Amino acid sequence: MFDFYFDLPLWIRLAAQGLAVMLVMFPIGAACSMAERKIAALVQDRPGPNRTIAPILAWIPGIGIIKKLGLFQLAADGGKFVFKEDIVPGHVNKFYFIAAPIIAVIPALTTIAVVPFGAYLNSAGQLVPIMLANVDIGLLAVFAISSLSVYSIILAGWASNSKFPFLGSVRASAQLISYELSMTLSVIPVFLWINGPMAGESSASLTGSLSLSRVVEFQSQSGFWGGTWFIFIMPLSAFIFLISLFAETNRQPFDTVESEADLVNSFGSEYGAFKWSLFYVAEYCHMLVGSGVFMLLFGGGWNPLPWFPLADFCNLIGVSGMPLVTGLIGIGIFLFKVLAMIFFFMWVRWTLPRFRYDQVMAIGWRKLLPLSIANLVFYTVGIALLSK
């Protein structure tokens, strides 16, 4: 059935896969902005955007649900951003001003290449991760590429040539760099664990891997310790990673970077129309990838429940012979988890007030960093003792 596809040259297939992933991710990123508005509305006891509808579509029965969900509002906003006059203020550095939103989107969409977002059972009954590039450096690539996004903020702030964007970008660079440290330190125990004594006999050939799919494989093993998600084994790591994720994606309560109360809109102040919206798509894509990485590392990836891996689930409902169906189920479960995380992000946003900037720095350097180092030492010693 898919022979024609596999007959295509490799580069066309890769381009098509990449395009397909982007075509899914971009709209989800955009839909997140509507979800944000809807959740804000629900928390504040109001219905949120539910009016917009294209008049020619209004006669279709049942379309009221889409209207109530505000999806036409989303389309209208998106269209507005595309067709609005794209103003470049006179006082900015034009080249970097235009480059900044592009640089924001590129790493946000690139990181997805090394993040597995599902798995299928092939005809031999083996679980194969679905991802664009199954590289061994895995998580390292995610960290390396996503940290490039700070350049877009710095460039945007500097090129805007006005004080609030500049202050915002200075904050952003300091904040992102401080929390990257704790974030990286918090995931090291996971990789020590999967490459260390608990690696088991089946995966001996795979030791020394930073691959994210390897982490999920490890959480899908049989037995009590094999099937445990890392959030149970390393709750503190998960906690530190989650907090750093909030800070890295500039989400409340850590969004001092664009705190509109004191910095107008920070690096976005001088932007408008499509360029402005690109920053926000990039932010949501970061959230998606970040939530995905969190779920892969600590939340069992595409496994539906702890101690109940995807393969068992597919056997249970009797579709294990169909790679396409198992793949869709795997992607579906993973996407559900990621969207649940996104919901959590938004839920927290409308619950917690923003930290002051000095508090952000204090939490990052004086609380989280020592905690993550202590966490690392604890698990290193523990794993060393276990492997004796």
Partner 1 sequence: MAVIPVERKPLTFAERTYIPQIISGLRTTLRHMVRKPLTLEYPEQRPVIPEGYRGVPTLVYDPNGREKCVSCQLCEFVCPPKAIRITPGEIASDDPNAHVEKRPEEFEIDMLRCIYCGLCQEVCPEEAIWLQNQFSMSGYTREEMVNNKAKLYELGGTLPDTHYKWDKKKAAEQHGNAHH
Q: How far apart are CA 276 and CA 156, in angstroms?
A: 10
Using CB under 8 A as the binding rule, whether residue 350 contacts partner 1 is answered as: yes
One-letter amino acid at 156 equals A
Distances 315 to 121, 235, 310, 379 between C-alpha atoms, Å: 10, 30, 9, 35
CB of 45 to partner 1, least distance (A): 4
Nearer to partner 1, 43 or 317 (CB): 43
CB of 308 to partner 1, least distance (A): 26
Query: Shortest Cβ distance from residue 71 to partner 1 (Å)?
Result: 18
When asked if residue 335 is in the footprint of partner 1 (CB under 8 A), the reply is no
**CA geometry: angle at 246 spanning 154 and 179, to 5°?**
60
Start-end of H helices in the chain: 3-7, 10-43, 64-68, 71-83, 94-110, 138-146, 149-160, 163-195, 212-219, 224-227, 230-233, 235-248, 260-263, 273-298, 310-316, 323-349, 357-362, 369-386
Among 28, 31, 42, 198, binds partner 1 (CB under 8 A): 42
39 binds partner 1 (CB under 8 A): yes
Binding to partner 1 by residue 41, rule CB under 8 A?
yes
Name the token pair of 95: 């080249």
Contact region with partner 1 (CB under 8 A), list: 43-51, 196-204, 277-285, 316-324: 43-51
Q: Which amino acid does the sequence have at 227?
A: G
Asked whether position 351 contacts partner 1 by CB under 8 A, the answer is: yes
Please select the residue that binds partner 1; options are 2, 3, 10, 45, rule is CB under 8 A.
45
Tell which positions 228-257 bind partner 1, by CB under 8 A: none
Between CA 372 and CA 388 the distance in angstroms is 24
Which stretch, 35-43, 218-226, 258-266, 296-304, contacts partner 1 (CB under 8 A)?
35-43
Q: Give min distance, CB of 57 to partner 1, in A.
A: 20
Size, binding site for partner 1 by CB under 8 A: 14
DSSP 8-state assignment for residue 364: I
Q: Does 47 bind partner 1 (CB under 8 A)?
A: yes
60 DSSP assignment: S
Residues in contact with partner 1 by CB under 8 A are 39, 41-47, 50, 347-348, 350-352
